[in-house]
């Protein structure tokens, strides 16, 4: 009897049951603590994916309305939870808008300290320049239809479907109606009209209708004589203000011939496109434009020559005639002068870059361009791609011929004092460098120009009779044609 009372078997069983119960309660608590939120999160994700699929279907049906295939289309959204909002009023338009501007880079307001060039990648940077010659601006609101659930936003805007996450980053679900093939940009802007909200878990039917009468914004010469094709400006800049601006920028960067930056403070994607200036043979002017050349082509300049005619009885007698261009920290100068009374035009070439790692490269011409005729019949053909015109380097080292340098480009060469190369090589090399950041303006000038045509300090060139011939391989993606329209779409909720 004493042994039975002193036995610990019953105590062990009770302790085991308590331990099992404690473990079960702990496991259930852990499941509730971590599992239930995960289940809710998975439910939210499934809901969001379902809404994304519905918006993709909505996008396809809306395109039929915009293209005139159908007067209206209705799409049903099974929301489960969240809000559907039609943002098609004036307040919403302030945050969902596209602005397109074209600019001339030789306009006095464009470059220089405090000029438009320094702030062009900011929203509304064009405001103080819209009345200036060389600036053309037009715009259109977009509006949107969005689903919101706490910090998650999915929406239709500008013909595309977008998804924005709580961290502020957005992605593209379906591409917008913006198409660019490197020559022609087509932008049909879908503008949503309406103001409605639906909240809850019930299904919502979104109906979009249109009169199928798009408004052409470009080309539109009746509104502005400069809105013509092919483009005559130097740059086209597209500003897209949107809560999905990062995804708009990512989409532009995914295109083969476009790139974009972002103005995060103003939720704006900025797409900048170069325009190729007209090529061919034309009468000579005291300034002319050259577009960005193809950096991947070792010899992108095909023809670059001047047929210079004298403008007075003194003949073609320049003492310091300069052909110059500058871009940012870089500058390029060809200098022509007649010396020794002979019918010869001598040339020197100077390239300078004041950026860190840059310097000055000076080349002394060892040849000449022949002047034919005398007095006002004097003329000379200046061919900047002459392969027989040799130049001698007169510095101890170079900096711009290094492929790996931040201020240089190929071909990889190492020139030292006394080394020689042809004018052809110099022009091919320096034209790639000077146009690296886009189009440039070349200026022709003769310091001391008095305009009397009597020689001395006056400009010796008759610009009415002289010509320039220019052909080159332009940078891929330079825009030539622009087509922009606005399609008004009325959206209602049922």
Tokens for 95, please give them: 């945050």
User: Residues 158-191: pLDDT tens digits?
Assistant: 999 999 998 889 999 999 989 999 889 999 999 9
Residue 257 binned pLDDT confidence (cut-offs 50, 70, 90): confident
Helix (H) / strand (E) element for 455: namely none
Residue 366 DSSP code: S
57 by Cβ neighbours in 10 Å (0-12 / 13-18 / 19+) ranks as middle
pLDDT computed for residue 228 by the predictor: 94
Positive or negative torsion for Cα 190, 195, 201, 202: negative
How far, CA to CA in Å, does 288 sit from each of 44, 237, 440?
A: 60, 22, 9
Q: Nearest to residue 426, comparing CAs of 475, 391, 381, 382?
A: 391
Helix, strand, coil % over all residues of the chain, rounded to 5: 20, 40, 40
DSSP three-state, residue 406: coil
Q: Nearest to residue 186, comparing CAs of 175, 197, 199?
A: 175
Parallel, antiparallel, or unpaired for β 344-353 and 330-338?
antiparallel
Tokens for 436, please give them: 């690296």
404 by Cβ neighbours in 10 Å (0-12 / 13-18 / 19+) ranks as exposed
CB 306 within 8 A of CB 382: yes
Tokens for 203, please give them: 């299904």
Q: End-to-end distance of the chain based on CA atoms, in angstroms? A: 84
pTM recorded for the entire structure = 0.79
Q: Prior bond to 411 cis, omega within 30?
A: yes
User: Residues 403-434: pLDDT tens digits?
Assistant: 888 899 988 888 989 999 999 999 999 999 99
CB 459 within 8 A of CB 269: no
Tokens for 425, please give them: 């090589």
Residue 413 DSSP code: -
How far, CA to CA in Å, does 274 sit from each of 80, 86, 226?
A: 47, 36, 17
Residue 317 binned pLDDT confidence (cut-offs 50, 70, 90): confident
pLDDT at 194 over 90: yes
Q: Prior bond to 219 cis, omega within 30?
A: yes
Residue 455 binned pLDDT confidence (cut-offs 50, 70, 90): very low
The residue-averaged pLDDT of 466-485 equals 93
Tokens for 251, please give them: 């989409």
CB 154 within 8 A of CB 48: yes
Q: How many CB atoms lie within 10 A of CB 428?
A: 21
DSSP three-state, residue 433: helix
DSSP three-state, residue 453: coil
Q: Which residue has the tokens 């994916």?
A: 49
**H helices of 448-488, where?**
none
**DSSP secondary structure letters along 60-101:** HHHHHHHTTS-SEEEEEEE-SSSEEEEEESHHHHTTSEEEEE
Q: What is the mean pLDDT of the chain?
A: 88
User: How far apart (Å, rounded) are the C-alpha atoms in residues 355 and 435?
Assistant: 16
Pick from 66-70, 258-262, 310-314 the range whose average pLDDT is largest. Answer: 258-262
Residue 18 binned pLDDT confidence (cut-offs 50, 70, 90): confident
DSSP three-state, residue 253: helix
User: Residues 67-82: pLDDT tens digits?
Assistant: 788 899 999 988 777 8
pLDDT at 17 over 50: yes
434 by Cβ neighbours in 10 Å (0-12 / 13-18 / 19+) ranks as buried
DSSP E strands, 169-327 = 170-174, 179-180, 184-199, 203-209, 215-218, 235-241, 260-263, 268-274, 280-283, 287-290, 301-309, 321-327
Counted residue by residue, the chain has a size of 494
pLDDT computed for residue 82 by the predictor: 85
């Amino acid at each position: 009897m004493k042994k039975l009372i002193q036995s610990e078997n019953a105590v062990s069983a009770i302790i085991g049951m308590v331990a099992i119960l404690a473990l079960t309660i702990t496991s259930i608590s852990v499941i509730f603590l971590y599992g239930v939120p995960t289940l809710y999160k998975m439910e939210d994700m499934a809901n969001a994916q379902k809404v994304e699929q519905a918006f993709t279907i909505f996008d396809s049906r809306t395109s039929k309305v915009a293209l005139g295939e159908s007067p209206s289309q209705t799409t049903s959204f099974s929301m489960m939870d969240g809000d559907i909002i039609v943002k098609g009023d004036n307040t919403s338009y302030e945050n969902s808008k596209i602005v397109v501007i074209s600019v001339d880079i030789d306009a006095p307001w464009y470059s220089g300290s405090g000029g438009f060039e320094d702030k062009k990648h900011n929203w509304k940077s064009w405001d103080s320049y819209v009345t200036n010659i060389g600036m053309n601006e037009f715009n259109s609101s977009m509006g949107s239809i969005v689903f919101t659930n706490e910090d998650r936003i999915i929406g239709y805007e500008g013909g595309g479907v977008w998804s924005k996450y709580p961290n502020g980053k957005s992605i593209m679900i379906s591409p917008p109606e913006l198409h660019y093939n490197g020559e022609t940009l087509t932008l049909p802007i879908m503008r949503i009209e309406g103001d409605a909200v639906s909240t809850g878990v019930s299904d919502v039917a979104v109906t979009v209708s249109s009169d199928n009468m798009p408004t052409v914004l470009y080309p539109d010469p009746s509104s502005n004589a400069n809105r013509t094709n092919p483009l005559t400006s130097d740059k086209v800049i597209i500003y897209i203000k949107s809560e999905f601006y990062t995804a708009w920028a990512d989409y532009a960067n995914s295109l083969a011939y476009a790139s974009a930056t972002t103005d995060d403070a103003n939720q704006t994607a900025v797409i900048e496109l170069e325009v190729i200036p007209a090529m061919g043979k034309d009468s000579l002017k005291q300034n002319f434009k050259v577009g960005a050349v193809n950096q991947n082509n070792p010899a992108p300049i095909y023809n670059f020559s001047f047929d210079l005619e004298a403008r007075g009885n003194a003949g073609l007698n320049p003492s310091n005639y300069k052909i110059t261009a500058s871009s940012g920290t870089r500058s390029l100068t060809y200098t022509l002068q007649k010396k020794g009374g002979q019918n010869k035009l001598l040339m020197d070439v100077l390239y300078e870059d004041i950026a860190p790692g840059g310097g000055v490269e000076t080349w002394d011409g060892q040849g000449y361009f022949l002047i034919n005729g005398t007095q006002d019949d004097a003329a000379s053909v200046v061919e900047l791609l002459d392969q027989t015109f040799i130049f001698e380097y007169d510095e101890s080292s170079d900096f711009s011929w290094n492929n790996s340098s931040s201020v240089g480009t190929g071909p990889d060469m190492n020139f030292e004092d006394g080394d020689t190369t042809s004018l052809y090589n110099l022009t091919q090399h320096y034209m790639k460098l000077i146009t690296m950041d886009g189009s440039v303006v070349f200026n022709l000038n003769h310091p001391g120009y008095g305009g009397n045509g009597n020689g001395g300090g006056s400009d010796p060139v008759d610009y009415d009779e002289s010509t320039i011939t220019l052909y080159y391989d332009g940078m891929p993606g330079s825009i030539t044609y622009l087509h922009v329209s606005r399609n008004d779409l009325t959206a209602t909720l049922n």
